[in-house]
Amino acid sequence: MSRGNIIMRYEFLRFPGGKPKAVTFSYDDGCRDDIRLAQIANSYGIKCTFNINSGFIAKNPNEWHLTADEIKKYIIDAGNEIAVHGEYHRAPGKQRAIEGIKDVLNCRIGLEDLFGGIIRGMAYPDTGIRDFHNNASYENIRGYLKDLGIVYSRSLGADNNSFALPTDWYNWIPTAHHNNENIMAYIDKFIGKQGSYCAARTPWLFYLWGHSYEFGNAGNWEHLENICKKLSNRDDVWYATNIEIYDYVNAYNSLIHSADGSVVYNPTLCDVWFDIDETEYCVKSGETIKIAIK
């Protein structure tokens, strides 16, 4: 729509391949049931982020937690992400800043020493940032996480019951826990969404979280199977880890536009897709493209 010389348009992120939706899972604590969860989710093409306490990694394969070899074989080598969950699973909201910093930093260093790579993701352990003591505050915690090279942290204890991308990466609230009473209705809504008119074409993210031992304790692994079956093999969905979601959204937000919006430059290392008034565009890494103004 135009008003004089002003072009009024709507632009929205599209995930890789121009897909309007994405799915990601996040599971905590590095316990033995993570192996089965990873095998089930991955068999359906779904990726998961596993949040690990470096101080609790097992020495022997008969312990409750996974060994380093098991984490590498069943999680990392299968294409999943590992992320920080505190060295000893301590809630940062209950700790003095120096203790919170040590728990996060030691976990990150420990995981990188064991598995290599650069680990930038996190899920808050225990009560996380739900309440505070010892002069802790969300603002201070977010500040030191940034300084420690953490780029996102999943919150816990609440579901956002929506498919919105996070507006605050350090309080990333997932769509729903797998035991949410509305979980199947949410999945039906998510997979049933079709193209919308130009002002309502926002991208959708379905983010599932929990603990794999909850399936083991309840003896209801079929619930996970049913979730994965409904979400899998969809042409309009990108299946990604948490860090892949973060990196891609950050790349989209790094695009540089001319003042009138007719030229777009991609300074990032990945190709980026977006939608303008129901027309899909892809700007490749390092490329500048011209946008047709209607």
pLDDT at position 64: 97
Query: Among all chains, which residue has been given the structure tokens 């035991």?
Result: 179
User: Is the whole-model pTM more than 0.85?
Assistant: yes
CATH no., domain 20-252: 3.20.20.370
User: How far is 173 from 164, CA to CA, in rounded Å?
Assistant: 10
Asked if residues 38 and 31 have their Cβ atoms less than 8 Å apart, the reply is: no
User: How far is 22 from 207, CA to CA, in rounded Å?
Assistant: 8
Q: What is the dihedral of CA 254, 260, 261, 263, to 10 degrees?
A: -90
Q: What is the dihedral of CA 126, 129, 134, 137, to 10 degrees?
A: 160
User: How far is 87 from 105, CA to CA, in rounded Å?
Assistant: 8
Displacement of CA 8 from its chain's centroid (Å): 32
Q: What is the mean pLDDT of each run of 10 residues along the chain (294 residues)?
A: 57 97 98 98 99 98 96 98 98 97 99 98 94 95 98 87 95 96 97 79 96 97 98 98 99 97 97 94 98 78
Which tokens belong to 152?
Answer: 């996102």
Residue boundaries of the structural domains of the chain: 20-252
3-state secondary structure of 83: strand
pLDDT at position 8: 58
First to last CA, the chain: 8
